[in-house]
């Protein structure tokens, strides 16, 4: 009950806990794991997380300070949850405040690592529900977002370089200032999406059948 109260009063959106975390003690222990890029060690590497797990991590983020409030510009240098290597496939993450999420390696790290090390840091979000989720300023370099539901998702200034977005639904998504270089946009629906200032060099627009993104009203 306490966590439900905190979520409704601390997080930018009014949400409710969807069940209980798989194990609060285990989540806390894992969060304390020190990342090691060379060895591919991350707090939630290969861990299947539920929505309740993510909600609990948000409430307790940075010793209870909570998630990054993107509307407060002074907080935009903070990092959100470190979910590098985590498995969030098919998970309902709609409406959650996931600004500044860490779901991949940073610029300086990417070019110093091997392909395997980059892969180990990639967050898995295939088929995830991110409808109206706040993912502004997130690091999603190389993220696996195939067939994800990203309708009306806030992704301003997000780093989506080399992200796998093929088949994703991005209707109405806010992608202003997003970095999409080299990302895969095969069969993506971008109707009504906002792309002002987005960096789109080298994006993949069509598959072997020449099926590209839907761009009506972009």
Is 78-218 a CATH 2.30.40.10 domain? no
Separation between Cα atoms, residue 52 and residue 14, nearest integer Å:
15
Alpha helices in 14-132 (DSSP H): 24-31, 51-59, 61-64, 107-110, 115-121
Per-residue pLDDT of the chain (218 residues; tens, 9 = 90+): 334 434 444 454 434 555 566 677 699 999 999 999 999 999 999 999 999 999 999 999 999 999 999 999 999 999 999 999 999 999 999 999 999 999 999 988 988 999 999 999 999 999 999 999 999 999 999 999 999 999 999 999 999 999 999 999 999 999 999 999 999 999 999 999 999 999 999 999 866 554 556 555 55
Q: Tell me the C-alpha to C-alpha distance, in Å, between residue 62 and each of 10, 65, 120, 216.
A: 13, 5, 24, 41
Whether the model clears a pTM of 0.75, i.e. scores above it, the answer is yes
Contacts of residue 107, defined as CB under 8 A and 6 or more positions apart, other chains included, come to none
- Domain boundaries, given as residue ranges, for the chain: 78-218
Alpha helices in 111-195 (DSSP H): 115-121
């Amino acid at each position: 009950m306490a966590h439900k109260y905190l979520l409704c009063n601390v997080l930018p959106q009014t949400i409710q806990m969807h069940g209980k975390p798989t194990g609060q003690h285990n989540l806390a222990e894992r969060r304390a794991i020190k990342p090691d890029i060379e060895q591919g060690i991350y707090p939630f590497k290969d861990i299947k997380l539920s929505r309740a797990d993510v909600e609990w991590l948000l409430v307790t983020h940075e010793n209870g300070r909570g998630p990054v409030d993107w509307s407060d510009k002074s907080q935009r240098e903070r990092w959100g949850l470190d979910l590098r290597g985590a498995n969030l496939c098919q998970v309902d993450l709609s409406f959650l405040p996931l600004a500044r999420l860490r779901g991949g390696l940073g610029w300086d790290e990417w070019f110093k690592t091997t392909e395997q090390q980059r892969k180990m840091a990639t967050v898995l979000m295939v088929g995830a529900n991110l409808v109206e989720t706040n993912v502004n300023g997130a690091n999603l370099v190389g993220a696996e977002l195939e067939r994800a539901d990203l309708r009306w998702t806030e992704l301003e200034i997000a780093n989506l370089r080399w992200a796998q977005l093929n088949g994703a639904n991005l209707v109405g998504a806010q992608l202003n200032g997003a970095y999409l270089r080299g990302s895969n946009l095969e069969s993506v629906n971008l109707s009504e999406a906002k792309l002002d200032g987005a960096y789109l060099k080298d994006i993949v627009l069509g598959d072997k059948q020449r099926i590209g993104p839907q761009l009506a009203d972009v």
